[in-house]
Structure 1
Amino acid sequence: MDYFHGSHGPAELSGMLHDDVVFQSPVVHTPQEGKAITMMYLGAAGQTLANDTFRYVRVFDCGDKAVLEFECEMDGITVNGIDMIEWDADGLITDFKVMVRPLKGMQAVHGAMKAMLEQMKAGQG
């Protein structure tokens, strides 16, 4: 499976996630467990981070694990981060961790994600 290139729609992304996937967000303290909550966070990230400036700049492919470094701009702030992904023998993602820097970038991501998640929970996203 090619996790590293192209955009993934909700149906395709859902098919890539293990039912018991663990998602670790930079904006939430505790790991989020399960496909539904992971889809919600990745959907919110797609609507906030994945603007026309988003791009992956480096990929470290380690077989059943990968680190994808990304950059984008939010509100005039350059955001730099990584997606750390691990998958099982069936090719389903079992662990997905996102880390973001610098502090101003993290604050921009936090604010945008919080607003988007609130919209999604209210059925407006």
Structure 2
Amino acid sequence: MTGGDIIGALLLADAAVLEIAPADRIKEDRLPDGVELTALLVRTVSSVDRQPLKRGQFVRRSDRVAVTVRALSVRDRKAAIGRIRACCAGRTGDIGGALRVSILTAGLGPSLNGPGNSFEQTQDFRVSWDAED
């Protein structure tokens, strides 16, 4: 289980997100060449776990997860970022098979020119959860 898995589960379960990027355009780690836009890319940027004092305890993990939006226009990119934030920011509870999840925003990346004359931007999240050791 990774923070990317948790964010991916939320995105794939959210009707508003799926309106702009259907499930086949929400990918992990790499967008395929020629993907139809708007598309979302979910990547784990970094991961930290606290070490338990003895085996068999839960370990609190924390991942920084980036959701990159690749869109046909600035308007589409901004709308996608807004829906992603609404879907994921401030969520708590058991999510995507993970226990005691907490999700906070962790910054918005720069607006970039993407491949094929597309528009890109990344929304980062800090995802924390309890994992079995």
TM-score for both structures, normalised by structure 1: 0.35
More strand by share: 2
TM-score for both structures, normalised by structure 2: 0.33
More helix by share: 1
Q: Which has the larger radius of gyration?
A: 2
